[in-house]
Structure 1
């Protein structure tokens, strides 16, 4: 994993610790929907720090935890909201807009079910708003990625190109990071609040 900012490193440590604690708790209490939701939330946040298939697999694992929690407590609105975030994240993994929209629609249903259970929750209203913007963001992301590929291919044909292509690649990667961060970061609120009730945050990494 590439070097990441100190703040992100602290978040990474927090959610790794949350995941480990939830996995341990699951062995003692496998039917606790709150613990399963914390586990899924941590996995979804950690997926933000991964790339490619590893990220996709971690998001799918988060989905499985949320779905397991909902089999125990079908109307648990915070879990429905987290599942909506996970489906939105999955949508952005596909270049095909029709496939992506299938996940965005699943997300919208989850957010609506969560809102039905807690009509005054601003986060759930925000989730529904988010899914209406997701298709246009997906389209922009695909445009950025296509431009990135074209820049890379052009850089292979002459001197002086790689530096420019590298800058373009960084800009496009930053855009993708922002999109995924906008989707996933909010889930951390649930995991953080739930985790903070039972354990202190990890110590900051030592500075060298």
Structure 2
């Protein structure tokens, strides 16, 4: 069921990306469309290997920056851009290089929160951004970023070699990393629904 749902998501966001691309050809100054395009690329990036994922995230950043050129105070684009920089940082092993992305992400989250002070998701993103550099260090110390992007069967073996306490800690880190991406997906789904695209498949019953 999960794999089916994942496949549906890939198809949905791929369709959304193509739709956004076609809309852009007709109207390159549509900030909502550029934001949706960036969101779709960011969502699709999690299904790629690390190099392709980073490339797709950079493309998403480019689209979101373009949206802000059209509408500088667009808080959902600012927030998505914060997520894009956060995601890119987590896939960058060099701590100093990643910190530049984390700093940018925090600035974008702050601007988004200022633009929509009642938005709890923006506030939560800002809180997570403060802990992100420390989380990044732990993730790369244990090679979790490679595992998170599906880098092969050795991942489970590596996890088994760690103590149960560390495993619980790593599960929490996965949750946070997943939350960042998932949050982008939630906003993107809502945005795409407003664009009169076919509705997304319902989530599996819990």
TM-score, normalised via structure 2 length: 0.81
Separation in structure 2 between the aligned mates of residue 10 and residue 169 of structure 1, nearest angstrom: 30
Structure 2 unaligned blocks of 5 or more: 147-152, 163-169
Of 131, 140, 143, the match for 1:142: 140
Q: 2:199 aligns with which of 198, 201, 207?
A: 201
1:57-206 mapped onto 2 (5 Å cutoff): 57-145=55-143, 167-169=156-158, 178=175, 180-197=177-194, 198-201=196-199
Contact 2:189/2:200 (8 A) holds in 1:
no
Give the greater-gyration-radius structure (CA).
Answer: 1
Give the equivalent residue in structure 2 for 1:151.
none
CA contact (8 A) 2:31 2:70 kept: yes
Task: Go from structure 1 to structure 2 and tell me whether the alpha carbon gap of 1:202 and 1:184 turns closer, same or farther (over 3 Å shift).
Answer: closer
Shift of 1:129: 0.8
User: 1:62 touches 1:86 (CA, 8 Å); kept in 2?
Assistant: yes
May I ask how many residue pairs the two structures share in their alignment?
184
SS at match of 2:13: helix
Give RMSD over aligned pairs.
2.5
Instruction: Give the secondary structure class of the aligned counterpart of 2:91.
Output: coil
Cα distance 1:166–1:97, how it changes in 2: closer, same or farther (>3 A)? closer
Q: Which residue of 1 aligns with 2:46?
A: 48
Question: Which segment is superposed worse, 98-107 or 178-187?
Answer: 178-187
